[in-house]
Amino acid sequence: MLTLLGMPQGAEWLIILGIVVLLFGSAKLPALVKQLGKSKKIWEEEIGPRDKADAELAAKTRLVERGPES
């Protein structure tokens, strides 16, 4: 009985996907996914890197964007 409260599995995801397609229409889904991607990027920029590897990558990226300092 406790499994009813867990995460959806298997065919339940297909049903959820079908409901999303019915609600938003297949033409609007690419724009919706693009907007979610932008939101995720903004979120990650605001909260900062999650671990040390992400922090090192962000630091290297900032150095490359600034270029060599004179």
Tokens at residue 59, please? 């630091």
Model pLDDT, residue 70: 47
Instruction: List pLDDT tens digits, range 5-51.
Output: 678 888 998 999 899 888 888 888 888 889 989 999 898 888 866 66
pLDDT reading at 59 higher than 70:
yes
C-alpha span between 17 and 11 (Å, rounded): 10
Domain residue ranges of the chain, discontinuous segments joined by +: 27-70
Supply the pTM of this predicted model.
0.43
Q: Which residue has the higher pLDDT, 32 or 1?
A: 32
